[in-house]
Amino acid sequence: MRDIGAAVIGTGFIGSVHLNTLRRLGVPVAGVLGSSPSRGAERAKALGVPRAYGSLDELLADPAVQVVHVTSPNVAHYPQVKAILGAGKHVICEKPLSMTSAQSADMLALARASGKIAAVCYNTRFYPLNQHAHGMMSAGELGDLRLITGQFHQDWLAKETDWNWRLEADEGGPLRSVSDIGTHWVDLTNFITGQKPVAVMAELATFIPERQKPLGPVETFTTATGATETRKIATDDAATILLRYGNGGRGVLTTSQISHGRRGLLTWDISGSKASAAWSAEAPENLWIGHREAPNQILLRDPSLMNPFGAAASGMPGGHPEGFADTWAAFFSQVYADVARGSRGPQSTWASFEDGHYEMLFCDAVLESAAQGTWVNIAGGN
Amino acid sequence: MRDIGAAVIGTGFIGSVHLNTLRRLGVPVAGVLGSSPSRGAERAKALGVPRAYGSLDELLADPAVQVVHVTSPNVAHYPQVKAILGAGKHVICEKPLSMTSAQSADMLALARASGKIAAVCYNTRFYPLNQHAHGMMSAGELGDLRLITGQFHQDWLAKETDWNWRLEADEGGPLRSVSDIGTHWVDLTNFITGQKPVAVMAELATFIPERQKPLGPVETFTTATGATETRKIATDDAATILLRYGNGGRGVLTTSQISHGRRGLLTWDISGSKASAAWSAEAPENLWIGHREAPNQILLRDPSLMNPFGAAASGMPGGHPEGFADTWAAFFSQVYADVARGSRGPQSTWASFEDGHYEMLFCDAVLESAAQGTWVNIAGGN
Amino acid sequence: MRDIGAAVIGTGFIGSVHLNTLRRLGVPVAGVLGSSPSRGAERAKALGVPRAYGSLDELLADPAVQVVHVTSPNVAHYPQVKAILGAGKHVICEKPLSMTSAQSADMLALARASGKIAAVCYNTRFYPLNQHAHGMMSAGELGDLRLITGQFHQDWLAKETDWNWRLEADEGGPLRSVSDIGTHWVDLTNFITGQKPVAVMAELATFIPERQKPLGPVETFTTATGATETRKIATDDAATILLRYGNGGRGVLTTSQISHGRRGLLTWDISGSKASAAWSAEAPENLWIGHREAPNQILLRDPSLMNPFGAAASGMPGGHPEGFADTWAAFFSQVYADVARGSRGPQSTWASFEDGHYEMLFCDAVLESAAQGTWVNIAGGN
Amino acid sequence: MRDIGAAVIGTGFIGSVHLNTLRRLGVPVAGVLGSSPSRGAERAKALGVPRAYGSLDELLADPAVQVVHVTSPNVAHYPQVKAILGAGKHVICEKPLSMTSAQSADMLALARASGKIAAVCYNTRFYPLNQHAHGMMSAGELGDLRLITGQFHQDWLAKETDWNWRLEADEGGPLRSVSDIGTHWVDLTNFITGQKPVAVMAELATFIPERQKPLGPVETFTTATGATETRKIATDDAATILLRYGNGGRGVLTTSQISHGRRGLLTWDISGSKASAAWSAEAPENLWIGHREAPNQILLRDPSLMNPFGAAASGMPGGHPEGFADTWAAFFSQVYADVARGSRGPQSTWASFEDGHYEMLFCDAVLESAAQGTWVNIAGGN
C-alpha cells in the first residue's frame, strides 16, 4: 500500500484521524482540500502535508492521487463522491454517506458502475472483538439472533449552550443522533449479526428546543466562547427505536447526545439461541460471552485466542491495549489491500456503499415511523 | 414489630424468602398455608413453622395473625387478598398484584376502604442505592428526566426444555416476561423517577413457540426430569417497549427470559437534565453518577455517604455487601413499622396497591399496543 | 437446629449480626450478655431478646443454652472461652481468637479435650464463590499454587480524628490491621489453597502516630463527637507482608485501615500452574478464572454452575445477589448442623480453633519479622 | 519534528512499534539496522523503510539521522548507546537501559556530558491518566504517599514449553520479570509519586526450573514449534517485593510472567493522606479516585476534565479510546519537541537516563536483597 497515493478532503478532527492513519500505514498523502483555499493551506502547513489543493478539480487532476478520503460535512458528500468516482478514483467516504437515500442510491449505482473501491467510514467494525463477534455469529456459535439491545450515548450536546453544525437540519440533515451515531450502531450490529433490520418503530426527542449558536466557528468536540444567537432546534437529541429482523429477531436501540457522563458509550448485547455476547466501546478490549450451563467468559483481545476475523484486525499482541486510532489502521489497511488488488477481497469486512445506502434507508424509515407512530418497513432489510 | 403475628400463604421459593425475613426481623410467624393441606403440613415441618393451616378460612380465623403474606400463584392473589382484607387483616401481596386490571382495581378499592396496610412485593426498591436514587431524583439532583433505558434479562427459560407454570396464560396471565419481571423494572423506575409512563409502544416475542412440559411438578428456578408433553406457548419470552413520560421524557425497557448467561440482570440508566445515574442488580452496591463537567462517580453503598432514604434501607455499614435477602428485611421492616403505627408513614417507600394496580394497567396497555402496533395511553400514568 | 439454644456475648455491631443470623435460621436465642448488666438489659430490650444475663456464670448456668457466641472485645475471648468449654458448651468465637498464641494454644487444647464444637468467626470463607474456589483448588483445577497476592483495605481509620478501641495495644493487642483484618485474609486463603504459609517477612507502618481519643464511648464504624485527648498510637495502620508456602509458592498481602475510598476491599488472586482465579469482596458474586489458551471466565454465583462446596453455601438461586449477612447464615447453618451431629462433619469448612491458633502464630511471626527485618518461620505452617 | 531524521536499531515487535509511531508523527525514518545485514535488508523491505544499514557505523555516518532508537536485545544497549552519543546523536533507548548499573552509570555520565536528548522507553508514563495522576500527586491532591501497591502480571511464560531470549541470564541479565516488567512499574510509580524507593526487600521465584528451548529462532510473544533442548532456568518467573520510601511511605510490587489469563496486567493503587487513586493497564481509560467522605470517582479520560499533564498526552477527545500505540505517539511527540528545542523542556515527563540508571540500581538492590533475605538500601532513592 506504500505505492498508492491518497488525498484527504476535510481537515478537521476526523480529517486528521484519516491523515495520521495513512501516515502510520506508510501511505503517501499527496495533499488535502480544506473548506476554503486559505483554510486548506493553513491546515496543510500545520499538519505537515506537502500540498493544499485549491479545489476538488485540482485534487482530482493530481495523478499522484488514487484514493480520495471524504471527511467534509455531510452535505458535501454527494457531489464530491460523484466527482471522485467520475474521475476514476477510489473513495473512502465518511458516514453518513449522504443527506438523502436518493443521493446514496445514486452513489451506490455510480460505485458499482465504476468498479472502484468505495468504502464508508464505519470504523467501529474494526475493533478486533467486533470482528471476532462477526466471526462467531457467522460460524453459528451464538445460534440464531433472538434479541439485540444497545445504545450509543454521548453528552457533548447536553447543554443548551452546546453547539455544532449537526444541530441544524439544513447542514446535517433532518436526523441528528440517529444519523450521526445511531447509524454507527446499525452498521456495526448489521455487520456482526449478518442481518439488516426489516422494520423499525422509532420515537425522536428534542429535549432542548432552543440553543445558543455562537456567531463564530466551532470545532466538533470543542466549546465555543463569545456572542451567540438563539436558534430553534428540531433535530433529535435522542431516539428510542424498536427493530424487527427478517428471522423474527427483535432489537432495541437508543441514541443520545445529552447523557451526562457518557462520552461515547456504544454498546451491543446479543441474545442468540445458543449463547450470548456483549461489547462496550468503553471497554473495547473485552468481549463478554454468556452461557446458560457454563461460566460466562471474558475474551480479552489477543490474536492467539481469536478467530481469523478478530486476529486479522489486531495490530498488537494481547496485553497491549488497542483503541480508536487502531481501528482506523485496521480499516484502511484492509481497504488499501483491496485497492492494490483492484477489488474487494472475499474476506473483506469494511462497510460498502451498499451498507452506507442501507443506513440512509434506515434513516428514512426512522423519520417516517416517528412521524406516524407506527412500524415502517425498511427497503433493503433482510 | 415483635408483637405482630404473621402468616404466609405459599411455601415455595419466594414463600421461604418471606418466612426467613420475618424470622430475621423477629416477627412471630403463626403458620403457613400450602397449595394443599398435605403439602402445607410437609412444608411447615421442613421449615420449622409451628402450624400449617388447612384452609384460608382457618388462617384468617387465627387471632394470632395480623398480617398475611400472599406468595401463591398469580391466579390466586385476587380471591385471597379480598378475603384477607375482608377479614380485617393487613396484607403483603406478591407481584403482579392480579391477573387483570379489573381485579386490581377492585383490590385497590377494597384496600382503601379497609384502612389496612396493603403492600405489593416490589422488593427491588429496597436495594439501598435505589432508595438513594429516589432521594436524589426527588431532590432535583439529576434535574428533569430526559431519557431512561433499562432491562430485566434472565436465562432460566432459554431452552425449549425449560418449564414453569408462568409459561401458560391460564395460570400466569397473558403476559409473562413483562408481567413477571418487566413490572419489577416499571415499579422500580417509577419509584425512582417519581413518574409513571403515560404511553407505551410494545412488541412481544415468543422465540420458542413449543416447549416440553414435564408431567410432574416443577419448582421455580429448578430443572425437571422425566416424561414431558409438547405444549404451544403464546406468552412473551421477551419484550421490547418504548415509553413516554408526562414531562416529555422517553424510555426504553427490554425484558427477556431467554438471554444465556444473564441470571437476573435488571438495570436502569437515567439521563437527567443536570446529571445521570445508573444501577445494575448484578452490582447492587454501586451507583454510577454521571457528569459532563466533572469526573463520574461511583457511590459504594455506605450509610455515611447516602441521603436519608438510602441510609434508612441500609442494614450494614459500608464494606459489608448487602444483597437480595437484605432488601426484604428493609422492605418488611418498613411495612411492619407502618402496621404498628396503623397507617403508611410519610416517608414510607414500599409499593402500594395503587402502584400494583398501575402495573396491571401498564400490562393492559402493553398487550393492546403489541396487538395493534401503535402507541397506547396508560390510564394512571402521570 | 431449631432445638439447639444459643446465647450471645456482646451486643455491638457484630453481636447483632450473630443474633439476626440465629433468628433467620430459626435458632432460639435464650439471652445475651452485655458489657455490663445495665447495658445488657438495655440492649436485650432493644434487640427483642428474652433475657439479659447478669454475668457469664449466670449465662453458663442456663440449661437452655448449648452454644455460646463470643463477640466481646479480643481481650475477653480467652477467659470466656475457657469458661464456656469448661461448662461443657459449644463455642463460636469471634476472631482473632485471643490476645496471644499462648492463650490460643490453651484454647485449642481445651477445645480438643472437650470434644465440643469450637469455631472461629472467619465468615468470609462462606461467600459461596470462596467455597467454590476451595473446591476447585482441592480438585486440582488450578494446579499447584505458585503465586498469591491480595489485600484487605479499609478507610475507617484514615483520619487522625478516627478512634476505636483496637487502636491501643492493651485492648486490641500489639497488632491492629494485621490482626483485625489481615487474619481474615490469611484464614480465607489458607482455606482456599489448602496451605498455611511457612514463613513471613513483614513490615508494619503507623502513618498517624498520634490520634484524638474521644472521652466518651465509640461504636465500631461510627464517628464520635465531643471532647478528645491526644494518644500516641503504636499499632499498625497498614502492613506489607511477603509469604512463603511449603510447596515453594509465594505470596503477598497488604492490610490497610487508611485507604480512602476502600470500605472493605478484601481481594485474592491465585496464579496456579494450570489456571488462575481471583475474587474481590466488593463484587462477591463473581469469580474470575484465568486461562492462557482460552478466554477467561467469570463465574456468576449460581448453584447450578458450582461444585458441591459452593452450592452448599448458596442460599439463593443465581440472579439473587448474596452478601455479608448471607455468609453468616451459611456459616452458622453448617456449625449448628455439626452441633446437632455432635462432631465436625467430614465436609465441614468452618474455621476451627486449629485455624484460629495458626492465625495467632502468624501474628507472632509478623511481629517478630517486622522487628528484625528478616524472614521468620511460622510454627504450624504447612 | 518533521525535519528531524530518525533511525531504528532492531526490527522486531518493539522496533516496529517505534517505526509506526515515527511515521504517524511524520518523522522521516532514514533506515533501520537489523540483527544482521541480511535480516535488516529483509525487514526494511517488509516494513517499507528506504534503507537497511550494514552496521552501526554506517548508521551513525548517515547525516540524515539525528535521533537513534535502540530496540536491540538488552545486552547491546550499552555499546550502542555509547557509540550513538559519541557520534553526537540523540538517543531513545529501550528499557532496561543496560545489563548492569556500572554500564548505566557510564551511559548517564556520557549523556550528561553530551548535552544530547537521552530518553528511556518507559512508555507507560504516557497513558494520559498516568500523566494526570502525576499532576494530581505533584499538586498535593492525594496528600502524602502512605501506601502503594501494584503488580505487573503476564502469562506468556507460564508453560515450560514457552521460550524467549530473556529466560537466560547471559542475554537478558540475571533478573527477568523484575527487569523486563517490574522496572516499568517502578518507573511509572516513581513518576507518579515523585519519589524513588530508598530500600527494598525482595523475593525471587523460579517456578519452572527447566524449560524447552527451541533450536530455531523465536519472536517475542510468539510460540515456536519444532525441536527443543532442555535448559535450566535461574531467572525469576515472579518476584514479590516490599518497598520503603523516603517519606515513610510503604509499597508492594509483584511481578509475574506465569499468571494464566493475565496478558499485561499492570496496576497501581496509591493511598495518600488525603485521597486515593488507582489505575490498571487493562482499563487504561479509567482512573479511580477514592474518597472517605464523598463518593469515589471514575475519571474517564477526557482532555476537558484533565490537568495539563493529562490533557497534553491525550491525542483524542473523550469517548475515543486510546491504547498502547497512542502512548508511544505522546511519548515520542514530547521527546522530538525537546530534540527540536535542543534540551529537555521544563514540563517534559519522559524517562531520562537518570531514571533508567535508577532502575538498574533498583535491580541491583533486588538481587542483593533476595540473596540475603534482608532489606537493602537503594542508592539513588529519595
For residue A165, the model assigns a pLDDT of: 87
In the predicted structure, residue D220 carries a pLDDT above the cut 70: no
- Residue B325: which of D73, D141, A16, C316 has the closest Cα? C316
Cβ(C180)–Cβ(C172) below 8 Å: yes
**Cα separation, A147 vs A141, whole angstroms:** 15
Q: Does C258 have pLDDT greater than 90?
A: yes
First-to-last alpha carbon distance for chain A, in angstroms, is 35
Q: Band the pLDDT of B3: cuts 50, 70, 90.
A: confident
Write out the H or E segment, with its range, that includes residue B22: helix B13-25
Mean pLDDT to the nearest integer, D62-81:
96
Among residues B121, B152, B185, which one ends one of the domains? Answer: B121
Contact criterion met (CB below 8 Å) for A334 and A343 = no
- String of DSSP letters for D231-299: EE--S-SEEEEEEE-TTS-EEEEEEES--TT-SSEEEEEEEESS-EEEEETTSTTEEEEE-SSS-EEEE
**Residue among D260, D237, D113, D114 at smallest CA distance from D180:** D237
pLDDT at B225: 67
Query: Which CATH number does the domain housing residue B81 bear?
Result: 3.40.50.720
* CA-wise closest residue to D334 among D46, D75, D81, D92: D92
Residue A138 C-alpha cell reads as 457467522
**A132 and A104: one domain?**
no
- Supply the pLDDT for residue D224: 59
Which stretch of B255-264, B333-342, D165-174 has the lowest confidence by average pLDDT? D165-174
Give residue D88's domain range: 6-121
Residue C23, min C-alpha distance to chain B (Å): 5
Q: What distance lies between CA B147 and its chain's CA centroid?
A: 23
Clarify whether residues C36 and C93 are in a common domain. Answer: yes
C37/C132 same-domain check: no
**Helix, strand, coil fractions of chain A, as percent rounded to 5:** 35, 25, 40
Question: Across chain A, what does the average pLDDT equal?
Answer: 95
Distance between CA atoms of D277 and A188, rounded to whole angstroms? 35
- Distance CA(B89)–CA(B67), nearest Å, equals 6
Taking CB atoms and an 8 Å limit, are B261 and A274 in contact across chains?
no
* Beta strands D67-70 and D286-290, pairing class: unpaired
What is the spatial distance between Cα A352 and Cα A116, in angstroms, rounded to a whole number?
11
Q: Does residue C361 share a domain with residue C225?
A: yes
CB contacts of D242 in chain C (<8 Å) are 201, 203, 240, 242
DSSP secondary structure of C162-173:
---GGGSHHHH-
- Over 90: is that where the pLDDT of C2 sits? no
Do the Cβ atoms of A256 and A238 come closer than 8 Å? yes
In sequence order, which ranges of D158-224 are alpha helices (DSSP H)?
Answer: 169-172, 177, 183-193
Burial classification of residue A82, based on how many CB atoms lie within 10 Å of its CB (0-12 exposed, 13-18 middle, 19 or more buried):
middle
What's the pLDDT tens digit per position in B18-28?
Answer: 999 999 999 99
Which of C371, C123, C97 has the alpha carbon at shortest distance from C239? C371
B362 shares a domain with B298: yes
Predicted confidence (pLDDT) at residue A218 exceeds the cutoff of 90: no
Give the pLDDT confidence score for residue D170 in this predicted structure. 84
| CB spacing of B284 vs C325 below 8 angstroms | no
Q: Give pLDDT, residue A366.
A: 98
> Grid coordinates 441528528 are at which residue?
A176
Residues A104 and A134 in one domain: no
Phi, psi (5° rounding) for residue C193? -80, -20
SS3 A213: strand
- Calculate what percentage of chain B has a pLDDT beyond 70: 98
CB C279 within 8 A of CB C288: yes
Closest partner residue to A296 (CB to CB) among C293, C294, C297 is C297
Beta bridge partners of B93: B70, B120
**Based on the structure, what is the number of domains in chain D?**
2
- As separate numbers, helices (DSSP H) first and strands (DSSP E) second, chain C gives 12, 17
Mutant choice from A154, A220, A320, A333 vs D, greatest count of D C-beta within 10 A: A320
Rounded to whole angstroms, how far apart are CA atoms C85 and C117? 9
User: Within a domain: residue A1?
Assistant: no
Give the number of other CB atoms < 10 A from CB of residue C45.
10
Report the gap between the CA of B291 and the closest CA in chain A (Å): 4
d(CA B275, CA D339): 45
Contacts of B320 in chain C (CB under 8 A): 264, 323-325
Strands B238-244 and B250-256: antiparallel
Q: Is the peptide bond before B295 cis (omega within 30 degrees of 0)?
A: no
CATH number of the CATH domain containing A234:
3.30.360.10
Residue for grid cell 508492594: D252
Strands A90-93 and B199-205: unpaired
Give the gap in angstroms from C-alpha B347 to the nearest C-alpha of chain A: 29
B12 contact C CB<8A: no
Whether residue C216 has pLDDT greater than 80? no
Look at residue B226 in the predicted model and tell me its pLDDT: 78
pLDDT at residue D222 tops 80: no
* In a shared domain, residues C115 and C149: no
pLDDT band at residue A162 using 50, 70 and 90 as cut-offs: very high
**Secondary element (H or E) of residue B266:** strand B265-272
Length of chain C: 382
Asked whether residue D107 falls in the same domain as residue D138, the answer is no
Q: Based on the fold, state whether residues B147 and B207 are members of the same structural domain.
A: yes
Average pLDDT of chain D to the nearest whole number:
95
Omega of the bond leading into A96 within 30 degrees of 0 (cis)? yes
Q: Which residue of C has its CA nearest to B325?
A: C322
Gap between the Cα atoms of C317 and B263, Å rounded: 9
B114, burial (CB in 10 Å: exposed 0-12, middle 13-18, buried 19+): middle
pLDDT interval class at A204 (50, 70, 90): very high
Written as one string, the DSSP assignment of C28-66 is -EEEEE-SSHHHHHHHHHHHT-S-B-SSHHHHHT-TT--
Specify the pLDDT at position A216: 76
Q: Is residue D330 in a domain?
A: no
Q: For residue B287, which residues of chain D lie inside 8 Å, CB to CB? A: 295
Q: What is the pLDDT of residue A2?
A: 74
Which pLDDT band holds residue C130 (cuts at 50, 70, 90)?
A: very high
Mean pLDDT of chain C: 95
Whole-number pLDDT of residue D225: 67
**Is B164 contained in some domain?**
yes
* C346: contact with D, CB 8 A cutoff: no
- Which residue's C-alpha cell is 500523566? D131
Going by the DSSP 8-state scheme, the letter that residue D201 receives in this structure is E
CB-based contact, B298 to chain D, within 8 Å: yes
Collect all residues with Cβ–Cβ distance below 8 Å to D344 and sequence separation of at least 6: D117, D338, D352
- Scan for cell 536499531, then name that residue: D9
Q: How confident is the model at residue B80 (pLDDT cuts 50, 70, 90)?
A: very high
Cα B73 from Cα B96, distance rounded (Å): 10
C305 touches chain A (CB under 8 A): yes
Q: Report if residue A344 sits inside a domain.
A: no
Among residues B96, B121, B146, the one where a domain terminates is B121
Separation between Cα atoms, residue C108 and residue C86, nearest integer Å: 13
According to DSSP, residue B127 is labeled: S
Please judge whether C297 and A295 are an interchain contact, meaning their C-beta atoms are less than 8 angstroms apart: yes
Residue B334 within a domain: no
Answer yes or no: is D147 within a domain.
Answer: yes
A297, C300: Cβ pair inside 8 Å? no
Higher-scoring residue by pLDDT: B223, A261 = A261
pLDDT band at D159 (very low <50, low <70, confident <90, very high): very high
Q: How confident is the model at residue D32 (pLDDT cuts 50, 70, 90)?
A: very high
How do beta strands B118-120 and B90-93 pair?
Answer: parallel
Q: Evaluate if residue B194 carries a pLDDT over 90.
A: yes
pLDDT over threshold 90, residue A381 = no
Residue C182's φ and ψ, nearest 5 degrees, are: -60, -40
Cα angle at C124 between C123 and C128, to 5 degrees? 105
Q: What is the distance between the alpha carbons of residues A10 and A71, in angstroms, rounded to a whole number?
A: 5
Please indicate, yes or no, whether residues B105 and B208 belong to a single structural domain of this protein: no
In a mutagenesis test of the A interface, which of B177, B259, B366 is the best target, namely the one with the most A β-carbons within 10 Å?
Answer: B259
> pLDDT at position B287, please?
98
**Residue D221: band (very low, low, confident or very high) from pLDDT cuts 50, 70, 90:** low
CA–CA separation, D25 vs A325, rounded Å? 13
pLDDT exceeds 70 at position C113: yes
Average pLDDT in the A131-151 region? 98
Task: Flag whether D345 is in a domain.
Answer: no
Taking only the tens place, the pLDDT of each residue in B198-253 is 999 999 999 999 999 998 776 666 665 678 999 999 999 999 999 999 999 999 99
Examine the fold and report which residue of B68, B89, B121 is the final residue of a domain before the chain moves on. Answer: B121
Contacts of B330 (CB under 8 A, 6+ apart): B126, B128, B312, B313, B314, B315
Same-domain pairing of A279 and A300:
yes
Is residue A168 domain-resident?
yes
Q: How far apart are CA A125 and CA D316, in angstroms?
A: 19
% of chain A exceeding 70 in pLDDT: 98
Q: How far apart are CA C344 and CA C338, in angstroms?
A: 5
Indicate whether D107 and D153 sit together in one domain.
no
Residue D295 Cα distances to B298, C264, D290, D291, angstroms:
6, 15, 8, 6
CA distance A113 to C136: 62
**Arithmetic mean of pLDDT, C42-70:** 96
| Mean pLDDT over each residue of chain B, to the nearest integer | 95
C-alpha cell, C65 = 443454652
In Å, how far is A28's CA from the nearest CA of chain B? Answer: 39
Grid cell for residue A289: 460471552
pLDDT on residue B222: 62
